[in-house]
Amino acid sequence: MSAEPVSRRARPAKAPLSRAVIVRTGLRVLDREGLDALTMRRVAQVLDTGAASLYVYVKNRDDLLAAMLDEALGRVRFPAEGSWQERLQVLVANSIDAMSRHEGLALVALGGIPTGLNALLVMDRMLALLKEGGLDDTTAAWAVDLLYLHITVAGAEQAAYNTKKMNAADHIAEVRKLYADLPADRYPLLTSMGDALFSAGDRDRWAIQVLVNGILNTPADR
Amino acid sequence: MSAEPVSRRARPAKAPLSRAVIVRTGLRVLDREGLDALTMRRVAQVLDTGAASLYVYVKNRDDLLAAMLDEALGRVRFPAEGSWQERLQVLVANSIDAMSRHEGLALVALGGIPTGLNALLVMDRMLALLKEGGLDDTTAAWAVDLLYLHITVAGAEQAAYNTKKMNAADHIAEVRKLYADLPADRYPLLTSMGDALFSAGDRDRWAIQVLVNGILNTPADR
DNA sequence: ACCGTCTGACGAACAGTGTTCGTCACGATC
DNA sequence: GATCGTGACGAACACTGTTCGTCAGACGGT
């Protein structure tokens, strides 16, 4: 019944497994087939091996996801020009962008102090910029916390927006109708402010500005 | 082989199934046994029925989670006293609190415009407070977006902090050591600012203040 | 050139998961 | 009293992450 063992040599030379290629393959699968398709078996299949083989280099699926997140964060570019505020805003925007390129990855970062080497590099640079802006240590530390939190959540939201949702315009129109059809006595503003609620504009850039302005005007008092 | 069918009447009168009791039972299971234990089978077991029965009232697991989230948000209290800024800050804090009471629930809200009736009520109240503060429609609309985003992510973080992590103090000490042991040339600030990074203080309240202050100082220009 | 040793690849299996289907008891309706 | 429709539910399906034991092949010492 069992076929004779196929020599590995019979197949075209196969690149050896390693943590790095597993992580990169994971990102490829995530980008092309979505988060649901990112199973250990699928990643192994792409690498032409069995799922069990991955566990030599990766502790478990969460470990793989965390490594993928840090790999993605490794591609964040650090701006070199402009005032410290401009550089901070661009750095935050770049980080959100890096996360939002991969569906669901940002969610991995939530609920855990960042420990990936590339995530920590982003944090260190943000701290440097805040110190350059003259903030005291405590405020800068709290600010980095808040900014990183915003990066993850904005990344998650953008990612959900970019991928998956077949037709964003249709979906928005649907929700808009839902808002308009709400009982006006219980939801007076949602029913009447439809135009503003769904207005276009660079909300992401605005949100970052809000954070930076707020940080500058709100010292951490303790 | 098959046992004789046990009449339902033989058992103590069983409360009839309904969407509401399923949602409430889901919350109970989530609170007492954690997110991993929140399976359709487990919820059904608590209700003394089979998993298939739940699907009459609930489209699928995500639908159940969304309903649980909105149920949790239904318990948010709307503050009645203080200036509009104070009321807004308390409302945001209360919402974060409501979400953080249930592990992992806040994550459900991410990546999707809120459509639950109670979530929309919170949004409407926030809009009312912002309009009371004299903001124009567009800024108020964008601000509500940002505030809701912060509520979800802060709720998720707090929830991860409250539950699960066996010993928070130990974990923090561990991460702190990790930061301190980083190469100082690549991570100059993380290695030197340990005291500030892990300083105590009411960061949650501070973050809300940052957002409100930032919103007041950053008009949405378009 | 041989022979152990050891690493890593991997098939099979385990214990679950969400979800669907077909059946069948029950309460209300004619 | 017969009929009907609703909802409860056992069983099954197609998956999942993870572990275990096996075993081929590379490496190092003699």
- The answer to whether the Cβ–Cβ distance between B189 and A127 falls below 8 Å is yes
Q: Which nucleotides of C are covered by protein (CB under 7 A)?
A: 8-13, 16-22, 25-26
A86 and A155 housed in the same domain: yes
B13 and B84 housed in the same domain: no
How close A213 comes to chain B (CA, Å)? 5
Report the distance separating Cα A206 and Cα B143, nearest Å: 10
A102 and A197 housed in the same domain: yes
Best mutation target among B91, B212, B218, B222 (most A Cβ atoms within 10 Å) is B218
Confidence (pLDDT) at A28: 96
A38 and A84 housed in the same domain: no
**A71 falls within a domain:** no
Task: Average the pLDDT over A58-75 and give the result.
Answer: 96
Check if the beta carbon of residue A155 is closer than 8 Å to that of residue A95: yes
Confidence (pLDDT) at B2: 35
A128 and A171 housed in the same domain: yes
CATH number at residue B27: 1.10.10.60
**A121 falls within a domain:** yes
Report the distance separating Cα A194 and Cα A181, nearest Å: 11
- Among A14-18, A83-87, A91-95, A147-151, name the one with the lowest average pLDDT: A14-18
A18 and A102 housed in the same domain: no
Q: Specify the amino acid at residue B22.
A: I
- Among A25-34, B63-72, B157-166, B213-222, name the one with the lowest average pLDDT: B157-166
Q: CA-to-C1' distance for A122 and D22, Å?
A: 45
Is any atom of strand D within 7 angstroms of residue A44's beta carbon?
A: no
Is any atom of strand C within 7 angstroms of residue B41's beta carbon?
A: yes
What does the pLDDT look like over A118-145, one tens digit per residue?
A: 999 999 999 999 999 999 999 999 999 9
Residues contacting residue A5 through CB under 8 Å, at least 6 positions apart: none
Q: CA-to-C1' distance for A140 and D25, Å?
A: 55
Confidence (pLDDT) at A15: 60
- Among A71-85, A184-198, B152-166, name the one with the lowest average pLDDT: B152-166
A41 and A122 housed in the same domain: no
CA A121 to chain centre: 16
Sign of the Cα torsion A30, A34, A38, A43 reads negative
Confidence (pLDDT) at B140: 97
Confidence (pLDDT) at A166: 61
B94 and B201 housed in the same domain: yes
pLDDT at A46 over 90: yes
- The answer to whether the Cβ–Cβ distance between A131 and B189 falls below 8 Å is yes
pLDDT at B76 over 70: yes
Confidence (pLDDT) at B12: 46
* Total domains in the fold of chain B: 2
**A72 falls within a domain:** no
Confidence (pLDDT) at B3: 35
What does the pLDDT look like over A170-200, one tens digit per residue?
A: 888 889 999 999 999 999 999 999 899 999 8
Residues contacting residue B98 through CB under 8 Å, at least 6 positions apart: B72, B73, B75, B76, B155
Task: Average the pLDDT over A201-217 and give the result.
Answer: 96
- The answer to whether the Cβ–Cβ distance between A196 and B138 falls below 8 Å is yes
Is any atom of strand D within 7 angstroms of residue B57's beta carbon?
A: yes
**A222 falls within a domain:** no
Q: CA-to-C1' distance for B83 and C17, Å?
A: 50
B90 and B195 housed in the same domain: yes
Q: Specify the amino acid at residue A195.
A: D
**A102 falls within a domain:** yes
Report the distance separating Cα A86 and Cα A129, nearest Å: 10
A37 and A104 housed in the same domain: no
Q: How confident is the model at residue B7 (pLDDT cuts 50, 70, 90)?
A: very low
Confidence (pLDDT) at A14: 57
Residue numbers in A near B116 (CB within 8 A) = none
**A-to-B residue pairs, Cβ atoms closer than 8 angstroms:** 176
Task: Average the pLDDT over A198-214 and give the result.
Answer: 95
Longest dimension (CA), chain A: 75
Report the distance separating Cα B167 and Cα B164, nearest Å: 9
A49 and A86 housed in the same domain: no
Check if the beta carbon of residue B184 is closer than 8 Å to that of residue B192: yes
Hey, what are A93's tokens? Answer: 């925007």
Report the distance separating Cα B47 and Cα B176, nearest Å: 44
Best mutation target among A84, A124, A198, A216 (most B Cβ atoms within 10 Å) is A124
Which residue of chain A has the CA closest to B163? Answer: A111
H helices of chain A, in order, are: 19-33, 40-46, 51-54, 61-73, 84-100, 105-109, 117-132, 137-162, 168-180, 188-192, 194-197, 203-216
**B2 falls within a domain:** no
Confidence (pLDDT) at A113: 86
Confidence (pLDDT) at B167: 72
Hey, what are A5's tokens? Answer: 């063992």
pLDDT at B165 over 70: no
CA-nearest of A71, A69, A53, A65 to A16 is: A53
CATH number at residue B191: 1.10.357.10
What is the distance between the terminal CA atoms of chain A, rounded to a whole angstrom? 74
Confidence (pLDDT) at B4: 37
**A68 falls within a domain:** no
**B66 falls within a domain:** no
DSSP per residue over B197-210, as a string? HT--S-HHHHHHHH
Structural domain of A21: 8-58
pLDDT at A6 over 60: no
Hey, what are B166's tokens? Answer: 């066996």
B102 and B191 housed in the same domain: yes
Is any atom of strand C within 7 angstroms of residue B9's beta carbon?
A: yes
Sign of the Cα torsion B152, B158, B162, B163 reads positive
Report the distance separating Cα A146 and Cα A133, nearest Å: 17
